[in-house]
């Protein structure tokens, strides 16, 4: 069984072309950000894999990139994702707790 620290989080990485499509920019713009070390990445099989969190921070700190993302990239869909009907929004009662939290709850109750 894996012990996962509560502070750890899964790192999401995307390719240069995926990043360009997501943010509505040219792949060369992403490559320039890599070259200037504005975003963090690793190299897997000779290809850049960009840390998505650093990509989001980079895009939000640059007005032109932010505008392109909102007009041509993923930002154009944000309004569509908003849940207006609370019947279908996630409820804390419905969401399951991780098993480690259940064990801690049982130990506190005994």
d(CA 34, CA 4): 30
Q: What is the pLDDT of residue 84?
A: 65
- Domain count within the chain: 1
92 in a domain, yes or no? no
Does position 64 have pLDDT exceeding 70, yes or no? yes
79 in a domain, yes or no? yes
Average of per-residue pLDDT across 60-71: 87
91 in a domain, yes or no? no
Q: What is the pLDDT of residue 1?
A: 43
Does position 3 have pLDDT exceeding 60, yes or no? no
71 in a domain, yes or no? yes
Alpha carbons within 13 angstroms on the beta-carbon side of residue 49 total 8
- Maximum Cα–Cα distance across the chain: 59
28 in a domain, yes or no? yes
Range of the domain at 32: 13-83
What count of other Cβ atoms lies within 10 Å of the Cβ of residue 46? 5
Average of per-residue pLDDT across 2-28: 82
78 in a domain, yes or no? yes
Q: What is the pLDDT of residue 66?
A: 86
d(CA 50, CA 53): 9
108 in a domain, yes or no? no
Each residue of 69-108: pLDDT tens digit? 888 888 887 777 666 666 655 666 655 666 665 555 556 5
């Amino acid at each position: 069984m894996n012990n996962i620290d509560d502070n750890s989080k899964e790192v999401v990485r995307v390719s240069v072309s995926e990043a360009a499509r997501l943010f509505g920019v040219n792949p060369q713009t992403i490559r320039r950000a890599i070259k200037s070390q504005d975003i963090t990445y690793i190299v897997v099989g000779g290809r850049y894999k960009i840390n998505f969190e650093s990509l989001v921070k980079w895009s939000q700190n640059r007005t032109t990139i932010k505008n392109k993302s909102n007009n041509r990239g993923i930002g154009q869909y944000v309004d569509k994702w908003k849940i207006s009907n609370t019947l279908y929004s996630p409820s804390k009662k419905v969401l399951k707790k991780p098993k480690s939290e259940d064990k801690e709850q049982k130990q506190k109750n005994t």
